[in-house]
Structure 1
Amino acid sequence: MKKQTRRKFTPEFKAKVALEAVKNQQTLAELGLKFELSPVIISKWKGEFLENMSSVFEKGMKNGEEQGPDVDGLYAQIGKLKVENEFLKKSCKKLGI
């Protein structure tokens, strides 16, 4: 006898189902038949979708400012690479390469 495992759904699929539920063109029962899901799950996903939909527009923002690359971290990495490069150049000269 094979043990039944839980189905796992991708975030894209969940968003698609939740968006269909938000449109209110079909009942939750109809959507449940269409997507082979329980109306309770669809209702839960719809609630999560409505609760978190504002985060879509906050993705590139942090406290009202655009998030850019970590400039200090990049400069530190450049400095480290320069030191390593100079060390390798000196080592190659000593070895005659």
Structure 2
Amino acid sequence: MKKRNQYSAEFKSKVVLEVLQEASTVNEIAAKHGINPVVISRWKCEFMERAAEVFKKGPSTAEKELEEKNERVAQLERKIGQLTYEVDWLKKKSEEIIGPDWEKRFR
């Protein structure tokens, strides 16, 4: 079974820009790069659909998702810090009240 080729975004954009320059046909560009012309046509359609996103103001959906994930991570790190502080405080108070060997007696 043949493995599917994975092309980088830079390569795809380079090929699509060649097609848009119209210096050669899609078939010639496909033969030059060893890619099926249908694949190049799909890349071109996707490129044209998403071209407007380049000029949109504000963060993109991917940037929004990344910001939400970063906020969630920061929130969880704050919670871990708070819980660690509480555990350390409880250990200290347990030693003061019960004695330094309290862990041995209660395990």
Same-fold call, TM cutoff 0.5 = yes
**2:15 equivalent in structure 1:** 17
Specify the code of the residue in structure 1 equivalent to 2:2.
Q
**CA shift at 1:51, angstroms?**
0.8
- The aligned length equals 92
Higher-strand-fraction structure: 1
- Pairing 1:76-91 to 2, within 5 Å after superposition: 77-91=77-91
Structure 1, unmatched stretches of 5+, are: none
Gaps of 5+ in 2: 102-107
Structure 1 residues 92 and 22: alpha-carbon distance in aligned structure 2, compared to 1, 3 A threshold: farther
**Cα 1:8–1:88 shift into 2, 3 Å:** same
Q: Which has the higher helix share?
A: 2
Q: Which has the higher contact order (CA 8 A, sep 6+)?
A: 1
Q: Give a deviation string over 1:5-26, Cα, whole Å, max 9, x none.
A: 3333233322221122122222
> What secondary structure sits across from 1:61 in the alignment?
coil
| CA root-mean-square deviation | 3.6
Identity %, equivalent residues: 29
